[in-house]
Amino acid sequence: MDLLTIGVLSGSVIAGLGCASVAGLKAWNGWLELKKMELTQVAGERGLPPAGGRIEMADLKERVRKLEAIAAGIDI
């Protein structure tokens, strides 16, 4: 193999590695962005429980009040 062939071959290998590195970094950044969006979505959902959950919580609080009144001997 002559010097020109070795130079072209090594240059193309270096260029290929560079392209693969850039593609890998873009994929990594995309994956990190996806995980950030998933975390913000989960954090946003934790803000308020669904309406059914709030209704159930209010119902449980009312039951507790009634049981406390019964235990205290107060007629509601």
17-58 tens-digit pLDDT: 999 999 999 999 999 999 999 988 876 666 656 677 778 888
Domain spans of the chain, in order of start: 1-45, 49-76
**CA of 34: how far to CAs of 22, 27, 30, 39, 65, in Å?**
18, 10, 6, 9, 45
**CA of 36: how far to CAs of 29, 32, 40, in Å?**
10, 6, 6
What is the distance between the alpha carbons of residues 10 and 4, in angstroms, rounded to a whole number?
10
pTM exceeding the 0.75 threshold for the entire prediction? no
